[in-house]
Amino acid sequence: MSCEGFNPEQWVKVYGIDAFGRYKYFATCQAEEVEAALSAIPSHWWIDYFLEPIDEHDIV
């Protein structure tokens, strides 16, 4: 999934998906920051990612 379609200021939770279909939470950030957040994670760990839009009031 890409950030396309998201407002750049939309807050999202970023999850990585590994080769076995398992997912792991990476970060909460604005859509415009997703690529930077993903670049901080070793690329061999994940094969894809998905974003969960959240309300900025739900940021923990």
Strand partners, 30: 11
Question: What pLDDT is recorded for position 30?
Answer: 95
Output the pTM of the full model. 0.81
How much is the average pLDDT of 45-60?
85
Question: What pLDDT is recorded for position 46?
Answer: 87
Task: For CA atoms 60, 40, 50, 46, give the dihedral sign.
Answer: negative
> Does 57 score more than 80 pLDDT?
no
Domain extent listing, the chain: 11-53
pLDDT in tens, 6-50: 999 999 999 999 999 999 999 999 999 999 998 888 888 889 999
**Residue 60 contacts by C-beta under 8 Å, 6 or more apart in sequence?**
28
